């Protein structure tokens, strides 16, 4: 699909016309490195032309129209704007192709987890107050001290197990059966992450100390992007 065809598919509204978004299409294919960046770029551009209401009021027809346009109309099941963004994303994937194989992405995700858990990593929960900063620094020091005592062989075993886990589609076998559960750490590991760390040889008492705060890693099977999520932020590998 050409840029002009994407422009032609744009669902116009009184505030945004097809001619308005031609520069946006050019920007997307010139600047975005991964398809996951497209949504935010598009929304930022379009919301400048059609600003979000200061507050939601279901009795305000203008407010309702804004939400229905950008978020879709639940009653009519029309999601024209959302579908248009998905068409751009699909075209982006067609043009750029896979960043890497799924297997390679799973290995990278395991490497990232290993680095954040066993190497130096600043604990961050988003609390920028004086007390919060002190707490984060203390947790970072305790994390580093605990990680020093863990042998390299444990790191290697962890990476092997984590790679296998991502390759399995993050299928976790718990007490109540098997279900999908991506590894995640809030102020300590979720069951999936804790299980992998334990099997790798990490002592139980160290699990919550060495895991990064507010962190998860997702492997995107559509293009092989590894999405590293921290507190209110994402980075793409």
Interatomic CA distance for residues 206 and 212, integer angstroms: 12
Examine the pLDDT at 162 and tell me if it is beyond 90: yes
Q: Angle CA(87)–CA(91)–CA(96) in degrees, nearest 5? A: 150
225 in the same domain as 134: yes
SS3 177: strand
Note down the domain range covering 60.
3-96
Position 100 scores a pLDDT of 96
pLDDT (0 to 100) of residue 61? 84
Q: Does pLDDT of 4 surpass 90?
A: yes
pLDDT in tens, 28-44: 999 999 999 999 999 99
The CA dihedral of 103, 104, 108, 111, to the nearest 10 degrees, is 70
| Range in 9-13, 71-75, 98-102, 187-191 the model is least confident about | 71-75
pLDDT, residue 77, reads 84
- What distance in Å separates the CA atoms of residue 174 and residue 22, rounded to the nearest whole number? 50
Are 114 and 226 part of one and the same domain?
Answer: yes
Domain count, the chain: 2
Last residue of a domain, one of 66, 96, 126: 96
Is the pLDDT at 215 greater than 90? The verdict is yes
Summarize pLDDT for 45-59 with one digit per residue, the tens.
999 999 998 877 777
Return d(Cα 34, Cα 42) in angstroms, integer: 14
Question: What pLDDT shows up at residue 73?
Answer: 83
Q: Tokens for 2? A: 């050409």
Out of 81, 96, 111, a domain closes at 96
Are the C-beta atoms of 154 and 201 separated by less than 8 Å? yes
Contact 41, 54 (CB under 8 A): no
What is d(CA 33, CA 44) in angstroms, rounded to the nearest whole number? 17
Estimate to the nearest angstrom the gap between the alpha carbon of 50 and the chain centroid.
Answer: 26
113/30 same-domain check: no
In the predicted structure, residue 74 carries a pLDDT above the cut 90? no
Residues 146 and 227 in one domain: yes
Please write the tens of the pLDDT for every residue from 163-193. 999 999 999 988 888 999 999 999 999 999 9
> What is the structure's pLDDT at 44?
97
Which of 41, 75, 96 is the endpoint of a domain? 96
> Residue range 59-80: average pLDDT?
88
List Cα–Cα distances, 201 to 52, 75, 115, 129, 206, in angstroms.
51, 53, 16, 36, 11
**Residue 82 Ramachandran class (φ > 0 left, ψ -120 to 50 alpha, else beta):** alpha
**Calculated CA dihedral for residues 108, 184, 34, 42, nearest 10 degrees:** -170
Structure tokens at 235: 């980075």
pTM above 0.85, yes or no: yes
So what's the pLDDT on residue 69? 95
Q: What is the mean pLDDT of the chain?
A: 95
């Amino acid at each position: 699909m050409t840029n002009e065809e994407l422009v032609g598919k744009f669902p116009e509204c009184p505030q945004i016309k097809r001619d308005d978004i031609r520069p946006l299409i050019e920007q997307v294919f010139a600047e975005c490195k991964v398809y996951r960046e497209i949504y935010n770029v598009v929304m930022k551009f379009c919301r400048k032309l059609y600003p979000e209401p200061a507050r939601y009021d279901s009795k305000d027809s203008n407010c309702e129209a804004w939400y229905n346009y950008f978020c879709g109309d639940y009653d009519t099941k029309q999601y024209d704007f959302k579908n248009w963004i998905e068409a751009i994303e699909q075209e982006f994937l067609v043009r750029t192709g896979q960043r890497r194989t799924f297997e390679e992405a799973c290995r990278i995700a395991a490497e990232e987890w290993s680095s954040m858990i066993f190497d130096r990593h600043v604990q961050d929960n988003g609390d920028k107050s004086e007390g919060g900063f002190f707490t984060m620094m203390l947790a970072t020091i305790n994390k580093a001290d605990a990680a020093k005592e863990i042998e390299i062989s444990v790191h290697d075993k962890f990476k092997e197990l984590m790679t296998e886990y991502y390759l399995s589609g993050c299928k976790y076998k718990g007490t109540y059966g098997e279900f999908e559960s991506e590894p995640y750490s809030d102020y300590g590991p979720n069951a999936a992450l804790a299980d992998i760390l334990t099997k790798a040889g990490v002592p139980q008492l160290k699990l919550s100390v060495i895991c990064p705060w507010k962190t998860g890693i997702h492997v995107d099977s559509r293009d092989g992007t590894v999405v590293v999520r921290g507190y209110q932020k994402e980075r793409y590998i």
